[in-house]
């Protein structure tokens, strides 16, 4: 049963989309990044609508399963989904996008953890963006790389945050029990939270049979589930970026929403919300994925996203990143000195933290997915053929994977 608040929100959607359309010829798009794109401005409004719905109401309207999303992409992109074991279940909570034929136990397996606040299921744009990065990999890497999607349980169905961590652990354990030892965790938003908290899970488990992920790719990770009061005042990204982002600061402020997500648990737990625990480097400096030679971690965030400050703070303590919020607007121009931190990666882990100029939350997977159409039509399209300003995140992540995927 949809709540009155949810019903009113649904009824308001056509008016909201119409207003965006009417305003566009006069003031431009929804924000600086999409000032010249009506399509993406409408998409932002749809995302804002979905992410502000009451948690339980999404169960009534979001009836697409991850399996259904994956299957429906086949007729749309027949050549790019013509992959070994595409859409085949691995276990009850995970599905292959591609499993390498004759896969060895040392070949890399990317485990994709989708975003959606832990209450919205996987979207087609997320899957197509992940597939795009796969097809843009260097051939030698692509031929040996498999991708598995974790189809975790959702809070809108009563599965509170924390459940998903143990579902990931079950899939990870099964993969390890079959001899696999080369993993990349890729997560966006809530999926980024899951990838980070899984590192703390492995640390606390202290099970020598479970290998650390070789790499993590974190896309706008949700590192702090509940914001502090001062963060909603001017000078902080929750306040200042509200007008730009597709995500509302209410995501980290509304106690009712948090109760529906957490089921009464406190967010102040390293296995739930690392940003709600006082930061100590000692919580992170003994995790090989973040620190040791042969491992790597990539983080991408947007200059104009509400989670910007939280992500940069976590990156400071966990990754040693010196990046801070910029006092001056980028004007949409990337400056490697101001917007990117790379470690040497010679005697320790290779770290790459990057801020997208004018970027918003989860921009890579929700607003760069149209590259899949180009890949379907242009079979010989390569990474170097892409506009790295238009497809900023996809280019950055694919280059990182080409550099760090371990293929023996």
Beta partners for 351?
Answer: 297
Helix or strand or coil: residue 110?
strand
| Alpha-carbon gap, residue 237 to 312, rounded angstroms | 11
Last residue of one domain, picked from the residues 62, 95, 113:
62
Run means of pLDDT, 10 residues per run, the chain, 408 residues: 79 92 94 94 91 84 85 97 98 97 96 95 96 97 98 94 97 97 98 98 92 98 96 96 93 89 95 97 97 97 97 98 92 95 94 98 94 92 91 97 93
Last residue of one domain, picked from the residues 14, 44, 62:
62
* Burial of 138 from C-beta contacts in 10 A (0-12 / 13-18 / 19+): middle
Q: What is the CATH number of the domain that holds 331?
A: 3.40.50.1820
Whole domain around residue 102: which residue ranges? 64-404
* Burial of 355 from C-beta contacts in 10 A (0-12 / 13-18 / 19+): buried
Model's pTM, two decimal places?
0.97
| Alpha-carbon gap, residue 375 to 354, rounded angstroms | 25
Q: How many domains does the chain have?
A: 2
Last residue of one domain, picked from the residues 62, 78, 96:
62
| Alpha-carbon gap, residue 384 to 305, rounded angstroms | 28
pLDDT at 68: 95
- Residue 267 and residue 139 share a domain: yes
> Which tokens go with 257?
């929403």
- Residue 94 and residue 50 share a domain: no
Q: How far is CA 166 from CA 162, 202, 215, in A?
A: 7, 11, 20
> Which tokens go with 84?
């070994």
In sequence order, the 6+-apart residues with CB closer than 8 A to the CB of 357 are: 303, 330, 331, 332, 333, 334, 335, 339
- Residue 348 and residue 210 share a domain: yes
pLDDT at 371: 93
pLDDT at 379: 86
In sequence order, the 6+-apart residues with CB closer than 8 A to the CB of 17 are: 42, 45, 46
113 touches 169 (CB < 8 A): no
- Residue 57 and residue 68 share a domain: no
Helix or strand or coil: residue 336?
helix
- Residue 138 and residue 37 share a domain: no
356 backbone dihedrals φ, ψ, rounded to 5°? -80, 120
- Residue 277 and residue 183 share a domain: yes
- Residue 220 and residue 81 share a domain: yes
- Residue 201 and residue 86 share a domain: yes
363 touches 393 (CB < 8 A): yes
pLDDT at 62: 65
Hunting for tokens 């034929």 — which residue is that?
101
pLDDT at 111: 98
| Alpha-carbon gap, residue 20 to 47, rounded angstroms | 13
| Alpha-carbon gap, residue 295 to 348, rounded angstroms | 8
Q: How far is CA 295 from CA 206, 324, 343, 388, 393, in A?
A: 18, 24, 12, 26, 21
- Residue 13 and residue 86 share a domain: no
Q: How far is CA 127 from CA 71, 73, 74, 153, 251, in A?
A: 11, 9, 12, 17, 24
- Residue 336 and residue 246 share a domain: yes
- Residue 75 and residue 58 share a domain: no
- Residue 73 and residue 51 share a domain: no
């Amino acid at each position: 049963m949809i709540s009155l608040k949810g019903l009113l929100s649904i009824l308001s959607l056509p008016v909201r989309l119409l207003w965006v359309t009417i305003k566009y010829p006069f003031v431009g798009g929804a924000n600086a990044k999409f000032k010249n794109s009506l399509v993406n401005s409408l998409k932002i409004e749809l995302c804002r609508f979905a992410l502000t719905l009451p948690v339980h109401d999404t169960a009534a309207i979001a009836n697409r399963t991850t399996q259904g999303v994956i299957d429906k992409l086949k007729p749309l992109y027949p050549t790019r989904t013509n992959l070994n074991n595409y859409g085949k279940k691995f276990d009850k909570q995970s599905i292959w996008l591609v499993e390498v034929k004759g896969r060895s136990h040392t070949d890399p397996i990317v485990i994709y953890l989708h975003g959606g606040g832990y209450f919205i299921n996987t979207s087609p744009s997320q899957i197509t963006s992940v597939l795009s990065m796969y097809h843009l990999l260097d051939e030698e890497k692509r031929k040996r790389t498999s991708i598995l999607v974790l189809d975790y349980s959702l809070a809108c169905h009563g599965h509170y945050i924390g459940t998903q961590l143990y579902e990931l652990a079950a899939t990870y354990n099964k993969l390890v029990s079959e001899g696999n030892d080369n993993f990349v965790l890729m997560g966006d938003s809530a999926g980024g939270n899951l990838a980070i908290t899984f590192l703390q899970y492995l640390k606390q488990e202290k099970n020598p049979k479970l290998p650390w992920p070789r790499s993590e790719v974190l896309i706008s990770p949700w590192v702090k589930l509940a914001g502090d009061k001062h963060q909603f005042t001017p000078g902080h990204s929750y306040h200042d970026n509200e007008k730009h982002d597709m995500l509302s600061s209410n995501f980290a402020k509304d106690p009712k929403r948090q109760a529906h997500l957490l089921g009464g648990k406190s967010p102040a737990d390293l296995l739930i919300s690392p940003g709600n625990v006082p930061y100590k480097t000692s919580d992170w400096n003994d995790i090989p994925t973040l620190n040791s030679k042969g491992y790597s971690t990539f983080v991408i965030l947007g200059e104009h996203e509400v989670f910007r400050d939280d992500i940069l703070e976590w990156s400071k303590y966990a990754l040693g990143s010196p990046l801070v919020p910029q006092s001056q607007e980028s004007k949409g121009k990337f400056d490697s000195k101001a917007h990117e931190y790379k470690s040497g990666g010679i005697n320790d882990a290779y770290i790459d933290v990057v801020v997208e100029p004018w970027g918003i939350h989860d921009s890579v997977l929700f607003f760069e997915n149209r590259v899949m159409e180009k890949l379907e039509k242009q079979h010989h399209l390569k990474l170097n053929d892409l506009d790295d300003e238009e497809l900023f995140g996809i280019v950055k992540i694919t280059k990182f994977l080409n550099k760090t995927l371990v293929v023996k």
